[in-house]
Structure 1
């Protein structure tokens, strides 16, 4: 009953207004009030500040600065080897597996359209037909910068306006089409294994989504926005930061068929740590099929 009330409340909540107001508070340089809010947040979510480059709450001018805090050197190690893909975030696996008949599994009783997730264009979705996906949820306690699983050259970015439902496990189990209805940014890369999509999904009270090449993305327009980077030389190495969330959310990583095999250690509910083994490249299997 309580869970159902929480879900109903999300439908009724003016989510964009609440998120904008939260964003203003999070961006405010409010001195002692900012420090107080940060200390309360650390205590509530039991955040390990020993991993942060700057561990003293007083250091941060805004709540956003704290929330997107940098890790200290050595706090995470990026797995070596060209055949090893690195986990892109700290978080928890929501789901991962095969994309079947153009649909991505969300939770028991729910799936959503690959094409819709990527903005509705067949040419963008086609490389990932029958491919693989991994959805990873970032809780409020997690490190909120997103890094590259593999070296890639940025080809396109798509920003898709939408709802701002929460993306926690309860909502994923109860709100149909969640990740393809929320506001999101799609970054499309070319890699040694073929195309890769990194989808950054917004959520309630997420003040903004940022990328390292475009800065803060805002839904100033109701229509989908496209950027073409094919003529730009924007290449990010494995482990390099590609973006960040101001307050928590979810990423969806997409790969072509037969390009990778996810780590056997990963399944729904698995805790993820940036830099650990995400997947193994399947180049030999791909080459043998082509021959």
Structure 2
């Protein structure tokens, strides 16, 4: 009986969560939160963080490089103390680009990716560029969900170069597990970026897809001058020339959201990588073996 009540309570909580976060004016709430989070007032920030901590019991600000914040955004985008995220140095290990809870992960079967059990989407809907998406139609993927309380910066999972970024405008649905079970092709609807990591041909290929969400819809990349958000009116294809060692910071979300990592079929999931498991930036995510002919390049 008690177990039945617990399940019913959790179900009711999930329905309430979904209604509160997805049946409201998402764009206006996101724009408001963007404005509010930039207000520079130590007192208002302290009060806001106190309220936030009531809903995020795992918020760990003692890990932050600094303990006093001038705005809520300053807290969201906080840096960590040195040495808290050691990077796995093995050359054939691809590390997690961020702190996260692992969502769906596994094989991309003929282009099908799962956002939740029973909710597939085609990789080409998420990554419209055929020259990029086709490489992963029989590869693997890992969905990394950054909770609002987590460290929001993301880092290079391998040594690589980036010569362009694709920005895709969209909605700001909440990307929590409740919404992923109810909204088909949710990741394909939201604001997102596509970043192909350039590596040696024998290493295969890896692409990161940071996905924005309600209260966020704002991504900043260290190698570009723009902030990509609901107000961005610039080009969708942005050329650049950036070089990263494994673990170098690439950018950050201004709240919390999701990164979907795709890799070619010469990669496999490391032990312990499964849905629901926590992972920290720098920990082993994938392992790879060299490709004889390199990835598909049309």
TM above 0.5, yes or no, is yes
- Equivalent position SS for 2:205: strand
The 5-angstrom pairing of residues 86-125 of structure 1 reads 86-118=95-127, 120-125=128-133
Offset of 1:176 from its aligned partner? 0.6
Offset of 1:243 from its aligned partner? 1.5
Paired with 1:289 and 1:237, the residues of 2 have a C-alpha distance of 21
Offset of 1:280 from its aligned partner? 1.1
Paired with 1:6 and 1:44, the residues of 2 have a C-alpha distance of 12
Deviation by residue 1:235-287 (Cα, 9 ceiling, x = unmatched) = 111111111111110000111122x111121101111111111111211xx33
Paired with 2:163 and 2:16, the residues of 1 have a C-alpha distance of 42
For residue 17 of structure 1, what is the aligned residue in structure 2? 28
Paired with 1:194 and 1:123, the residues of 2 have a C-alpha distance of 14
- Aligned pairs, number: 280
Q: Which residue, 20, 30, 37 being the options, matches 1:26?
A: 37
In the alignment, structure 2 segments of 5+ residues that lack a partner are 1-10
Offset of 1:154 from its aligned partner? 0.2
For residue 52 of structure 1, what is the aligned residue in structure 2? 64
Deviation by residue 1:198-224 (Cα, 9 ceiling, x = unmatched) = 111011111511111124112446897
For residue 134 of structure 1, what is the aligned residue in structure 2? 142
Query: More deviation in 151-160 or 36-45?
Result: 36-45
For the aligned residue pairs, the C-alpha RMSD in angstroms reads 2.1
1:170 aligns with 2:182: no
1:150 aligns with 2:158: yes
Paired with 2:17 and 2:281, the residues of 1 have a C-alpha distance of 31
For residue 5 of structure 2, what is the aligned residue in structure 1? none
Q: TM-score scaled by structure 1?
A: 0.89
- Rate the CA distance shift 1:288–1:163 in 2: closer, same or farther, 3 A: closer
Q: TM-score scaled by structure 2?
A: 0.87
The 8 Å contact of residues 160 and 224 in structure 1, kept in 2 or not, is answered as no
Deviation by residue 1:152-198 (Cα, 9 ceiling, x = unmatched) = 11022111111111111111111110111111111111123233211
Paired with 1:103 and 1:243, the residues of 2 have a C-alpha distance of 28
In the alignment, structure 1 segments of 5+ residues that lack a partner are none
Paired with 1:128 and 1:115, the residues of 2 have a C-alpha distance of 10
The 5-angstrom pairing of residues 244-263 of structure 1 reads 244-258=252-266, 260-263=267-270
